[in-house]
A and B are shown apart, each in its own frame.
Chain A
Amino acid sequence: MLKKVILYIGVLLVGFQSQAQDIRLVMSAPNAVAAGDQFRLTFNINERGENLTLPDLGNFDVLMGPSFSSSTSFQIINGKTTQSRDFSYTYILRAREAGTFTIRPGSIEVDGKVYQSNSLTIQVVTGQSQAAPAQQQGQQQGQQQERGSETTPSGSISRNDLFIRLELSRHQAYKGQQIIATVKLYANPNMPLAGFEEVNLPTYEGFYTQDIDIPQQINFKREVFNDRIYQVGVLKKTVLFPQQTGSITIKPFSITTLVQQRVRQRSFFDDFFTGIQTVRAKLTSDAVSVSVRDLPPAPACFSGGVGDFRISSEISQQEVTTNDAVTLKLTISGTGNIRLIQAPKLALPGDFEQYDPSSADNVRASDGGVSGSKSIEYLFQPRYAGDFKIPSVQFAWFNPASGKYEQQSTPEYDLKVTKGEGDQGTGVVRSLRKQDIQTIGQDIRFISQKQVPLKEKGSSFFGSTLFWAIYLLGTAAFAVFFVVYRKKMEENSNIALVRNKKANRVARKHLKVASDHLKKQQGEAFYDALLKAFWGYLSDKLSIPLADLRRETAVEGLEVRKVDPGLISDFLAVVDQCEYARFAPSGGAQVMHELYEKAEDVISKMEKQIKR
């Protein structure tokens, strides 16, 4: 029982304490004031307190205060009621001297506990006392400018009271280094702005740009510029990445603002109707230039990154079967021109089917520049089984802060590929995989190593003495051959003629020998001599060598020479009889005598019939 009570108390105490921890004392004041001007210093607290102690204000005089006000609000959300209270203490102060001063934290007591506020820095400028003459000067200037050009604010608005300005975080940068450009509108705190027309923001030619999100509602802040206090509104914030080297000029841009102005009364009646008039003022900025330096010579694995990056990698799987898809994911994170980084090269082993890497950006633009990450996915399919190494990816980037290239590489991965089930490659499938030989580089072909005999310069076989000599000798040899052969042929034909003429005589001689044998009754020798007479005669007469002479060739030759067929058959009969009688001698002297006479008769008839 007692324990329970203690627990309740404990819970309650914790609750109280948690409530007490929410108490915050906030001190606020404009961050820029003019010396001699009044301004408010406000303390806000969400719990009723007591004994508010001001810090030592030093340079500031307290003119009035504290004036106290409180407000309470209730909120009911989903039946849950929350209550918030606000108590504020306001002092009115005045600065004595120009300079920058820090107001140390004030303190307050709530339920016996002391809470400290934040501290503040206030910039005090001189010149608010001279504000009136300056404004008059400005009016004159404005009128002069009005005459000079149309772009100056009309009416009595001077360039010192209302202007626009492009503020760059740096005016010197490397190519690709980010620059934060802020378009600011400066207005005299006393000048009521009614609105804008024709907002022509700068175009930033020569830069890759990315806008920084800023609140839609322009939030005016006090700021000191050229020793004067202005209400400053930020119209646009952009991160610029220079894309070319040299001096890049951002062209002036313009905004037309509407300003409410009190009009001087020209007559008594004017006072009734007018008093405040809206004036258009066209504001034009100055041109701003940035000098951009080119990057130093880049290492091979540089892929365009300028800034500060880190790289990490991840592989989807390390044991796959052939034709499985493997993904290597590369994440580049950091600040800089992330969007402009190209995917680094992944040099896979050959025979891998590699697809174009896909990349996704996730970047944020803020006052600190563009930061975020880019993830690049390399998708590939191993085609053959084996143990492979997925090489590390080298990634280099340029760090403008150090002015040097920095490099980081991902780890190497082992990939074990086993042969897949459906990969029983048939001839058809294999032919589909044929690919062109990849050309890696180009170079001239190697020197010729042939040991060819060197020639005298300008010498050539064509036109040389030898060349012409061969032509001439060839022709001459042909001519000689022609003449000699011709002559010989003529001689040959003469021999045939002679033999033809002699044929009869030779035949007669053989016949005489035959008749001698006839008288001596030498049968065999007689027939021999008779055949010799016939064949020798025909050989000479028909110009056929004896060796080639047979019955058929002889008959052919005789027919060609138009010898009477009866005579040919007589001739054949004689030859037959002779050859028959040679091997089988028969008959007596009578038969031999008749044959002799017949032979003599045939030869003499032939002699008549065969003409040359």
Chain B
Amino acid sequence: MMRRTISILLILVPLISGASGENLLLEEANKHYTDQEFDRAAEKYEQILASGKESAEVYFNLGNAYFKTGDHVQAILNYERAKLLDPRNEDIDFNLKVANQFVVDNPERLPRPFFSRWWGNLANSSSTDGWAKVSIAAFLFFLVLLGSYFFSRSIRLKKLAFYVALPLALLTLLSFSLAWHQHSMIKNRNAALIRCPRVTVKSAPSATGTDLFLIHEGLKVQITDSLDSWKEVQLSDGNKGWMKDSCLVKI
């Protein structure tokens, strides 16, 4: 009797907890990963993504599963995707760094001006939605303060409301633009990974172009232009050139 109750409960729990098929899949995939069956875990994670759902965790776990099966390019790709959704997660950064050790090329990073660096760091300190929420909260609070500025009888309260409302308005604008920045990064997806083991980057979008440099799989590049099936890519050291898009996979 007792046992039956428990088994019924066990069946009911996932149903009650509202676990959709994807959440069940996620649990199964995590279990495969824990049991060291990385191939099957990766398969399950891919199924979740194929159903049109996503989360930073799924990408991160998929990256881990690929890393364990030895597919470092796919691992880096999924870590990068996870990082887009959750730029603050320290685990993602760490695993990405480990996976990047398997990339042959190590182009020197071009020094960015300090404001661009600060802006990027600031934007990365929260996700799009995080910034969006900050922006809305700041805006609503700003409105409240504005109201109390207008209608307060006390002069001191008016002053206080004014001086708090001003930075709040700035915060609203700032967080809005940071959210915009993050959002456009996700929407545009200009970054891409090299998929082929070796790619020769050419000076022009044609097979007859001069060979400029040779890059290897797993390297992250920025797509700056495209023409037919050719893409202009930029390396982090500033070098630019054209290559076929068949060897690129967008993050």
Contact = CB atoms under 8 A, between A and B. Distances in A.
Interface of A: 442-458, 460-463, 467, 470-471, 474-475, 477-478, 481-482, 485, 489
B99 A444 contact: yes
Contacts of A446: 64
Given A452-B55, A454-B53, 5 more contacts: A447-B60, A450-B57, A462-B179, A462-B182, A467-B136
Interface size class of B (residues with CB under 8 A): 35 or more
A39 to B, nearest CB: 73
A546 to B, nearest CB: 20
A508 B99 CA distance: 94
A295 to B, nearest CB: 27
B54 interface: yes
Contacts of A478: 143, 146-147
B64 A471 contact: no
B132 A461 contact: yes
Contacts of A470: 136, 140
Q: Is the interface of A mostly helix, strand, loop or mixed?
A: loop
Given A442-B98, A444-B95, A482-B150, A463 B183 contact: yes
Contacts of B27: 451
Contact of A457 (B53, B60, B136, B179): B53
A387 B132 CA distance: 61
B52 A456 contact: yes
Given A448-B57, A450-B57, A462-B131, A481 B95 contact: no
Given A446-B64, A474-B139, A485-B151, A462 B55 contact: no
A470 B143 CA distance: 12
A460 B91 CA distance: 22
Contacts of A454: 20, 22-23, 26, 48, 53-55, 58
19 contacts: A442-B98, A444-B67, A445-B94, A447-B30, A447-B60, A452-B55, A452-B56, A454-B22, A454-B54, A455-B54, A457-B53, A457-B54, A461-B129, A462-B180, A467-B132, A470-B140, A474-B139, A475-B143, A482-B150
Contact of A448 (B53, B68, B91, B143): B91
A461 B133 CA distance: 8
Contacts of B140: 470, 474
A458 B58 CA distance: 14
Contacts of A445: 64, 91, 94-95
B242 interface: no
Contacts of B132: 460-463, 467
A567 B196 CA distance: 101
Contacts of A477: 143
Nearest to A460: B128
A450 B53 CA distance: 16
Interface string B47-76: 011001111111011001101100000000
A450 B147 CA distance: 42
Given A444-B67, A454-B53, A474 B30 contact: no
A457 B56 CA distance: 11
Contacts of A455: 53-55
A471 B172 CA distance: 11
B98 A443 contact: yes
A331 B199 CA distance: 53
B191 interface: no
B36 to A, nearest CB: 12
Nearest to A449: B30
Contacts of B58: 454
A470 B132 CA distance: 11
A482 B147 contact: yes
Interface string B149-182: 0110000000000000000000000000001101
Contact of A456 (B23, B53, B56, B186): B53
A467 B49 CA distance: 25
Contacts of B54: 454-457
A448 to B, nearest CB: 4
A448 B98 contact: no
A489 to B, nearest CB: 7
Interface string B17-59: 0001011001100100100000000000000110011111110
A447 B33 contact: yes
Nearest to A461: B129
Contacts of A461: 128-129, 132-133
B186 A460 contact: yes
